[in-house]
Amino acid sequence: MTRLNGEDEVAELCRDLIRIDSTNAGDNTGPGERAAAEYVAGRLAEVGLEPLILESDSRRANVVVRVEGTDPSREALLLHGHLDVVPFDAADWTVHPLSGEVADGCVWGRGAVDMKNMDAMILAVVRQRLSEGRRPPRDVVLAFTADEEAGGRYGAHWLAAEHKDLFDGCTEAIGEVGGFSVTLDGARRLYLIEAAEKGIAWMRLTATGRAGHGSMLNAENAVTELAEAVGRVGRHEWPVRLTRTVETFLTETSRALGLEFDPDDPEATVAKLGPLARMIGATLRNTANPTMLEAGYKANVIPQTATAYVDGRFLPGYEEEFLQTLDELLGPNVTREFIYHDVAMETGFDGSLARAVTEALLAEDPGALAVPYTLSGGTDLKAFSVLGLRGFGFAPLRLPADLDFSGMFHGVDERVPVDSLRFGVRVLDRFLDGC
């Protein structure tokens, strides 16, 4: 077998994946992930693996394969990444989102940040190791999933429910939205490791009243009832709830920056974090943001029902409080139902997995400081946690100080530096040896 160099091919793998349209609008239409899955499976087959392509629906394809370790008696590790990306408007971009263009030292395109970069790094590392005959110390299961951008119904959740045998022995996992650097000064960088995720509660709110003529008096107007409830929800100031992971992040970051951290006033510390404030601020409290309104069909007709949609996110350990408060805000005349509901998670940044993360980063960046943080969104780890896996978000990238990486998630002009991808390959290779 020809020996492969992961650092040399990772950018091209990333470009190839970006050029495959796997846009997920959330309504099970569009191109799906089948073409991307076939590409991934082909690259893995070239180094002797026998990956499975598993379709949960037409074009909604997942790839799973197990790489045997030198000690199969050990508990296995899951490396997972999703193949779908969110929609885009090409007119808003500097380059076409499906071009995979390399410019200014970066690979550009939809998925360069979320998360075809990590898919490419996983492929590059595994291809290099197997071409060199280097097996990992323990079994490693690779999962490239569909539908993460719409909650994983056709991807990770389906795999966990219908093909859980493929993950036998897996106790730990590594996935997205963590491991990227934030520069403190010229010599030190924070690497944010996701150790917790807020839960998700996307809800449909419905008010039912009495239909009638728009010129008449009507004390049972569904639109009025719903609008008042939505206003209460949208304006509610949720209290600060300092979870273990957030407190650890603020404590360690404050120490690194020479700031004083007051646990009774965490918002004061968050306000001093610059671009990070947007990301970390959302993890101090539960949130419920109204996003859509639907009512009526004619200007002079009072409709019988009115509907709104809310994106709710709750902190680990605070789901019951979140839902109770929400019901109080809605009042007795507005009902709610989940259109998507998923768990919150939290694990300590400790044990051999955390040590392997930290040591791999330090070996490639002596100025690294790995700190756990809470993700305000969600990842496929939610689905795999149902199988009993604990894990971290760890897609390692050493980034330029002036690159607003977190701001490009689902944004325009997604791009990832080629040097950062090469760094990630080296770190993941070390991580696999050390975990």
Please name each of the domains of the chain with its CATH number. 6-196+345-434 (3.40.630.10), 199-235+289-342 (3.30.70.360), 240-284 (no CATH)
For residue 279, what pLDDT is reported? Answer: 86
pTM: 0.95
For the chain, what percentages of helix, strand and coil (3-state, to nearest 5) are there? 35, 25, 40
For residue 330, what pLDDT is reported? Answer: 98
For residue 148, what pLDDT is reported? Answer: 97
- Do the strands 170-175 and 76-82 form a parallel or antiparallel pair, or are they unpaired? parallel
Which residues, at least 6 apart from 290, have a Cβ–Cβ distance to it below 8 Å?
230, 233, 234, 308, 309, 310
- Do the strands 52-57 and 60-67 form a parallel or antiparallel pair, or are they unpaired? antiparallel
For residue 199, what pLDDT is reported? Answer: 97
For residue 407, what pLDDT is reported? Answer: 85
Nearest to 344 by CA among 319, 361, 320, 367: 319
C-alpha to C-alpha distance for 165 and 139, rounded to whole angstroms: 14
Q: Is there a contact between 33 and 62 (Cβ–Cβ < 8 Å)?
A: yes
- Please name every residue paired with 397 in a beta bridge, in sequence order, or none if there are none: 180
Q: List Cα–Cα distances, 386 to 80, 106, 284, in angstroms.
A: 15, 37, 25
Our separate counts of H helices and E strands in the chain read 12, 19
Q: Is there a contact between 143 and 51 (Cβ–Cβ < 8 Å)?
A: no
In percent, how much of the chain has pLDDT > 70? 100
For residue 82, what pLDDT is reported? Answer: 98
For residue 275, what pLDDT is reported? Answer: 78
Residues of the chain scoring pLDDT < 50: none
C-alpha to C-alpha distance for 21 and 265, rounded to whole angstroms: 45
Residue 274, classified by CB atoms within 10 Å of its CB into exposed (0-12), middle (13-18) or buried (19+), is exposed
For residue 271, what pLDDT is reported? Answer: 93
Which position has the token pair 């007051």? Answer: 262
